[in-house]
Amino acid sequence: MIDTTDRLRKAIEGFNSLPDEAISPTKLTALYLGLSERTVRRHPHLPRYQVSLGRYGQLVADVRKVGRGGAAA
């Protein structure tokens, strides 16, 4: 059985290999930026994109920009 912590760690490590056009799930975005999911959902520089019914995420390019300090968190 794979531990949830291992899955999240692998997802964060693989974030840098994602293309800028990819959509990052809100949970992964929050972990990557060290923010709460609620803060990510309300962040003015991280617009939400609907992936499927009831599922949203953020554009990887936007997440990287915020992570580099290109947009105030």
pLDDT in tens, 5-60: 787 788 888 888 999 999 999 999 998 999 999 999 999 999 999 999 999 999 99
Higher pLDDT, 72 or 16: 16
Whether 39 is covered by a domain: the verdict is yes
Strands of the sheet containing 23-25, edge to edge, are 23-25, 55-59, 49-52
Domain that holds residue 42: 4-67
Whether 36 is covered by a domain: the verdict is yes
Retrieve residue 54's tokens. Answer: 């009831």
Whether 50 is covered by a domain: the verdict is yes
Burial grade of 10 (CB within 10 A; 0-12, 13-18, 19 or more)? exposed
Burial grade of 21 (CB within 10 A; 0-12, 13-18, 19 or more)? exposed
Whether 40 is covered by a domain: the verdict is yes
Higher pLDDT, 41 or 3: 41
Token pair 């019914």 is found at 53
Whether 30 is covered by a domain: the verdict is yes
Whether 73 is covered by a domain: the verdict is no
Whether 72 is covered by a domain: the verdict is no
Total domains, the chain = 1
